[in-house]
Amino acid sequence: MSLKIAFAIFVLVGFAAAQQYYQAHQEEQHGPVHYEFNYDIHDDHTGDVHGRKEARKDDHTQGEYYLIDADGYKRTVTYQVDGKSGFIAQVHREPIKGYQAPQPVVQKVLAVPVQKQYYHH
């Protein structure tokens, strides 16, 4: 075996060991992760309707969020992340029967005539 190949193997083995040590150290430092949350918003004044829920345990995260699009469809996105798989999402849209978009609030402004006064010197 040539000296260059032996050196390359030595470097790769050292790199793998260092990476494994780093990952183990990170897990010890942060400990297990676990959380859950959810919220829902329904504001009749602005028409803002949306919500979200998510749960995570260690490397597994799953959740869902929804909102009402301007065209009257409810958009729901379910997602998950499993370790190093990356973010995987599915989007579903469905019309809301009888949906009417909120009408903008029109404020009337009362115009008051201004009287001009002229001063003569």
For the segment 40-96, what is each residue's pLDDT rounded down to a tens digit? 999 988 888 999 999 999 889 999 999 998 888 999 999 999 888 889 999 999 998
pLDDT at 114 over 80: no
pLDDT at 14 over 80: no
Alpha helical stretches, state H, the chain: 3-30
For the segment 83-98, what is each residue's pLDDT rounded down to a tens digit? 888 899 999 999 988 8
* Confidence grade of residue 112 (pLDDT, cut at 50, 70, 90): confident
CB 75 within 8 A of CB 66: yes
Domain ranges of the chain: 1-31, 32-103
Instruction: Compute the chain's Rg from CA coordinates.
Output: 30
Residues in the chain: 121
CB 94 within 8 A of CB 110: no
pLDDT at 7 over 60: no
Mean pLDDT rounded to a whole number for the chain: 80
